[in-house]
Amino acid sequence: MSTCIFELDGEPAVMGTAYETTARKQMEEDLRRSEEKYRNVVTYASEAIAVVQDNRMIFANPATCRISGYNWEELTERPFSEFIHPDDLGMVIDRYLRRMAGEDMPRVYSFRFLDRQRRVHWVEMSTALIEWDGKPAVLTFFSDITDAKRAEEERQRLEELLRQSQKMEAIGTLAGGIAHDFNNLLAAIIGFTEIARSRVKESDALSSLDKALRAGERAKALVSQILSFSRQKAQEFKPIKIAPVVREAVKLLRASLPSTIAINVTIDAADMVVEADPSQIHQVLMNLCANAAHAMRNGGGVLEIALAQVTLGVESATIHPDLNPGEYLLMRVRDSGHGMTPEVMDRIFEPYFTTKPEGEGTGLGLAVIHGIIKRHGGGITVASEVGRGTEFCVYLPLSLCAEAAMEVKAPQAPPTGHERILFIDDELDLVEIAGQILKPLGYDVTTRTSSVEALELFRAKPDYFDLVITDLTMPNMTGETLAQRMLQIRPGIPIILCTGFSRELTREKALGLGIKEFMLKPIDYGELAIAIRTILDEQAPAGATDREEFMV
Ligand code: ADP
Ligand code: MG
């Protein structure tokens, strides 16, 4: 501003007034501009800015209106505490009081802010104590961090899942490792019990032995469950009719479930064929029924098992997003038990999720089922109502090569023979069982518990034996090496390799070495008898005559 100062009677009277008016105007203008600048900052801030006094917002910017869903008048009418989630209110008040009392508190913290629809927003708030109209007030800045919070929760959930799956992997490795030993022990328990049972006449002992056998079978199923969960069990997918598998399972269930539980079975399409591993399908059904039975253990009820054929059209994609439209076998297991809440239902397929007391549930049953069904290209749905019951629907794609379907073997008398068999296993028990089971079938069985000794024996008289059955994992020389040496000595000698668990040797590799059959332990002796007969029948009968006898 240009000024002209001159004296009039010694005072700058007139021009001075003009000067002051201009200066005040300028100051007002400056103030207005500065206020406008601040107002713009506050108005356009993406952060919510508000002043709270006596539990009311006496000032709030548009961002505060946006996050709360109220307009400015409505905002000022509501107590500030109404915007704070009840669970966080105590914490917010406590912090406020302590700051007012002069305590040094962190200025930034987060809490749950409730909007007009009572929806939760996670907000991060920073505060400052100010004076507003001569009274103490709190200036608050808060920003919506809901997305960040959700992302964090999701990250934690994924981390938890990862930990979970690593735990499963560890269990798988462990399970695989012990499976070999454990299966051998089980085979001995079951085998000897079977032998004892076939010799015992007295009824009391018989029923005890039956119980021992049932427990043994359950233990076998458990090992198989653990192994199938860790996916280290050999998969055998072939076209099979499912109805006989279901009937077989129902027989077992009838024997084991209390009479307070009625079992209804409906099989609408007995000839349906699915590419599957029958033992795994059996396991799916047994796991589902075990859960159903558990849900009905107080008060009993009805267990319904149904098999039907269904067509999934394009419209079913919403219920089964993973399933292609087509023909499916539907296996339905329904119970009238206690049912589940939606919260439980959300988690039932998670490994280790169980609502049962320790010792009664592992939380693996449904996780196993889920894995099996996925590997069969199928799907599973569940519906449940608390107090009414639960229904599981398993969908398995129908096989296109139905003609090739095999009936799952009905128990038959094992085939017999008179050939000479060399049986090698480092477990004395297994060797004894094999002898006691194969000899009554007519075979001439020689056994060894040392692979080295067995090889010496074989080298001495390579043409004496018609068939060799050997374990894989043995000290000093593995079954694989033994088999290779024997095949060098006498190419074509039929060998059956038995193994509990093997990462290194697969069925394909074994067959590639010239081994005739690869069997998983625990050995099903009926299957073994069939394999022995089949292999021996395939051998040319030449050379079966004029062999010298010698003592072994
Ligand atoms: P577990 O049986 O060892 O608990 P599962 O994976 O088989 O493990 O089942 C997980 C949980 O799912 C059970 O603990 C139970 O809460 C629930 N559940 C499964 N099937 C049923 C059913 N038929 N009725 C009620 N609840 C069930
Ligand atoms: Mg279960």
Q: Which listed ligand is nearest to 356 at the C-alpha?
A: 1
Q: Mind giving me the DSSP string for 70-129? A: --HHHHHHSBGGGGB-HHHHHHHHHHHHHHHTT----SEEEEEEE-TT--EEEEEEEEEE
354 lines ligand 1 (CB under 6 A): yes
Position 258 scores a pLDDT of 87
Position 7 scores a pLDDT of 56
Position 270 scores a pLDDT of 79
Q: Which listed ligand is nearest to 354 at the C-alpha?
A: 1
Atom number, ligand 1, closest to the C-alpha of residue 365: 7
353-356 long-range contacts, Cβ below 8 Å, gap at least 24? 356/294
388 lines ligand 1 (CB under 6 A): no
- Cα–Cα distance for residue pair 121/318, rounded to 1 Å: 31
C-alpha distance from residue 464 to each of 241, 421, 456, 492 (Å): 42, 9, 13, 14
341 lines ligand 1 (CB under 6 A): no
Distance 355 CA to ligand 1 centre (A): 7
* Residue 322, both tokens: 């993973």
273 lines ligand 1 (CB under 6 A): no
Query: Phi-psi bin for 387: left (phi > 0), alpha (psi -120 to 50), beta?
Result: left
* Residue 490, both tokens: 């006498």
304 lines ligand 1 (CB under 6 A): no
What secondary structure letter does DSSP report for 336?
-
Atom number, ligand 1, closest to the C-alpha of residue 363: 8
Edge-to-edge strand ranges of the sheet holding 517-520: 444-448, 420-424, 467-471, 495-499, 517-520
335 lines ligand 1 (CB under 6 A): yes
- Alpha helical stretches, state H, 270-338: 278-295
CB atoms within 10 A of CB 412: 9
391 lines ligand 1 (CB under 6 A): no
Position 2 scores a pLDDT of 43
Residue range 45-144, CATH number: 3.30.450.20
pLDDT in tens, the chain (552 residues): 444 455 555 555 455 555 667 888 898 899 999 888 988 988 998 899 999 999 999 999 999 999 999 998 999 899 999 999 999 999 998 988 888 888 888 888 999 999 999 999 999 999 888 999 999 999 999 999 999 988 888 888 778 777 766 666 666 666 666 766 777 788 888 888 888 887 777 777 888 888 888 888 778 777 776 666 555 445 668 888 899 889 888 887 887 788 899 999 999 877 889 999 887 888 899 899 999 999 999 989 999 999 999 998 877 777 777 788 889 999 999 999 999 999 999 899 887 889 998 777 778 889 888 888 988 989 999 999 999 999 999 999 998 765 555 544 444 567 888 999 999 999 888 888 888 888 888 899 999 999 999 999 999 999 999 999 999 989 999 999 999 999 999 999 999 998 876 666 788 888 888 999 988 877 777 788 889 999 999 885 544 444 444 444
- CA dihedral of 526, 528, 530, 535, whole degrees rounded to 10: 180
* Residue 514, both tokens: 């010239």
Which of 303, 313, 521 lies closest to 427, judged by CA? 521
Number of DSSP helices (H) and strands (E) in the chain, helices first: 15, 17
292 lines ligand 1 (CB under 6 A): yes
Residue nearest to atom 16 of ligand 1 (CA): 355
286 lines ligand 1 (CB under 6 A): no
- CA dihedral of 82, 84, 90, 91, whole degrees rounded to 10: -150
Pocket test for ligand 1, best of 354, 385, 392 (most atoms within 8 A of CB): 354
What secondary structure letter does DSSP report for 421?
E
Atom number, ligand 1, closest to the C-alpha of residue 361: 3
* Residue 114, both tokens: 């409730």
- Cα–Cα distance for residue pair 468/421, rounded to 1 Å: 6
- Cα–Cα distance for residue pair 181/263, rounded to 1 Å: 37
- Cα–Cα distance for residue pair 482/485, rounded to 1 Å: 5
Distance 284 CA to ligand 2 centre (A): 10
348 lines ligand 1 (CB under 6 A): yes
Atom number, ligand 1, closest to the C-alpha of residue 360: 3
- Cα–Cα distance for residue pair 263/73, rounded to 1 Å: 66
**Residue 304, amino acid:** E
Edge-to-edge strand ranges of the sheet holding 389-397: 261-267, 301-312, 326-335, 389-397, 379-385
- Cα–Cα distance for residue pair 227/204, rounded to 1 Å: 35
Query: Which three-class secondary structure string do you get for 373-417?
Result: HHHCCCEEEEEEECCCEEEEEEEEEECCCHHHCECCCCCCCCCCC
Edge-to-edge strand ranges of the sheet holding 48-53: 56-60, 48-53, 135-144, 120-132, 108-114
Q: With contact defined as beta carbons under 8 Å apart, do 439 and 415 qualify?
A: no
Pocket test for ligand 1, best of 291, 364, 373 (most atoms within 8 A of CB): 291
Distance 342 CA to ligand 1 centre (A): 13
Rg over CA atoms, the chain: 40
Distance 272 CA to ligand 2 centre (A): 27
366 lines ligand 1 (CB under 6 A): yes
Which residues lie closer than 8 Å to 223 by C-beta, 6 or more apart?
Answer: 175, 179, 182, 183, 186
347 lines ligand 1 (CB under 6 A): no
C-alpha distance from residue 141 to each of 40, 73, 106, 239, 442 (Å): 16, 19, 14, 67, 91
Q: With contact defined as beta carbons under 8 Å apart, do 49 and 57 qualify?
A: no
CATH topology of domain 239-408: Heat Shock Protein 90 (3.30.565)
Domain boundaries, the chain: 5-41, 45-144, 156-234, 239-408, 420-539
Ion ligand 2: residues, Cβ under 5 Å: 291, 365
Q: Mind giving me the DSSP string for 238-277? A: EEEEHHHHHHHHHHHHHHHS-TTEEEEEEES-TT-EEEE-
* Residue 264, both tokens: 């209804």
Residue range 420-539, CATH number: 3.40.50.2300
**Residue 160, amino acid:** E
Distance 246 CA to ligand 2 centre (A): 18
Q: With contact defined as beta carbons under 8 Å apart, do 319 and 381 qualify?
A: yes
Residue nearest to atom 20 of ligand 1 (CA): 291
Pocket test for ligand 1, best of 366, 382, 394 (most atoms within 8 A of CB): 366
Which residues lie closer than 8 Å to 523 by C-beta, 6 or more apart?
Answer: 187, 498
